[in-house]
Amino acid sequence: MTDPRRKILSAPARLTHLESMVSLSGQRTIFPFYHVVSDQHLPHIFHLYGYKNPAEFEKDLDAMLRIFEPLRLEDYLDGVAKNSRRRGMILSFDDGLAECHRVIAPLLKKKGVPAVFFLNNRFIDNRGLFFRYKTSILIDRVMSDPEMAGKAAEFLVIPEKQVVSALKMVDPPRQDLLDPLAAVLGVDFQNYLKNQPVYMTSEQIKDLRSWGFGIGGHGRDHADFSIMNRDEIIRQVRESVEDLRERFGVKTAWFSFPFSSAGVPGPVIRELLEANVAGALFGTAGIKNTGTMRFIQRIPMESVRGTAMEVLKTEYLYYLLKVPLGRNRLRY
């Protein structure tokens, strides 16, 4: 039988544990990021990563708020946290999904927590669909109907049992096969977007702005920046943030690299920042010391199942373990 006193004791002990890891690391500001929060089955995301329901997300938030003070990104970049001993947190959400407006923003508003939402310009108003979301929709179709698995196997010329793993491996250069495969499986992505809007509309994004949230670019169509040359990277970052400036009157130029910033050459990162194409750039490599406040690595909160506290403890532990090897740094 569990001693109830142990339960009572272990809670503050666990809390102290993270707090001491934070001070030991010297990384007092965290940048957790999510995509979506929902209690619905979302076929376009379900087969890609686990997402939290509103109750779980609120628990995450409350736990983080007990330790970290929520900050606005602009205040952080202005240096308000620099000389502070306090622990800070800047939340962000990638891909501009409809639930950001319906579920996430209202909850953040209620708690007075600022956040930044990174948007794919061409998908705003559901004018297009990220190929990975297409993949998940097709996997959902195949898994719910054995006849469809057979049809997909025939189309892909592979054994039926390999269909799901083959779909999971579809990469940007092979994404063109998804539309014809969808036609074979009777899936119409246009209809899907109409019946179940995946992304926020322009009006909803204007709401976010009027509620005080920040927005930033995430590339026009979630392309992989690691395979682009210098000119293309700079052009696409510039277009993504300028489009938001024109459509939503955004004065800042924040950009989060789709997938990650890994593979984007250091000199190009430097050039983007120095020429002020971007006011701040974001990756997804977890807690890293990049040597500048304007190149920020964030913590993926949905890549493993677990509470926010579990994810953060693991992140800090990794960071501290890598310090002696110098692998806690991500210079550019």
- Count of residues binding Zn ion (CB under 5 A)? 3
Least separation, in Å, of the C-beta of 302 and Zn ion?
11
CB-wise, 258 or 283, nearer to Zn ion? 258
CB-wise, 199 or 316, nearer to Zn ion? 199
Contacts of 93 (CB under 8 A, 6+ apart): 33, 34, 35, 36, 100, 104, 115, 116, 117, 118
The position carrying tokens 């997402």 is: 51
User: x/- string (CB under 5 A) for Zn ion, residues 243-262?
Assistant: ---------------x----
CB-wise, 18 or 198, nearer to Zn ion? 198
CB-wise, 128 or 185, nearer to Zn ion? 128
Least separation, in Å, of the C-beta of 218 and Zn ion?
6
Cβ atoms 120, 220 nearer than 8 A: yes
Q: What residues does 155 pair with on adjacent strands?
A: none
| Best CA proximity match to 33, nearest among 116, 123, 129, 120 | 116
Is there binding between residue 302 and Zn ion (CB under 5 A)? no
Least separation, in Å, of the C-beta of 53 and Zn ion?
21
* Backbone φ and ψ of 297, nearest 5°: -100, 135
Least separation, in Å, of the C-beta of 68 and Zn ion?
23
Q: Which residue is nearest to Zn ion (CB)?
A: 94
Least separation, in Å, of the C-beta of 121 and Zn ion?
13
**Which residues in the 74-113 window bind Zn ion by CB under 5 A?**
94-95
CB-wise, 95 or 221, nearer to Zn ion? 95
b/e code 302-325 from CB counts within 10 Å (16+ = b): beeeeebbebbbebbeebeebeee
Strand locations in 19-176 (E): 29-30, 32-34, 69-70, 88-89, 91-94, 115-119
Question: What gap in Å lies between CA 115 and CA 187, rounded to an integer?
Answer: 35
Least separation, in Å, of the C-beta of 62 and Zn ion?
26
CB-wise, 155 or 259, nearer to Zn ion? 259
Q: Which residues bind Zn ion (CB under 5 A)?
A: 94-95, 258
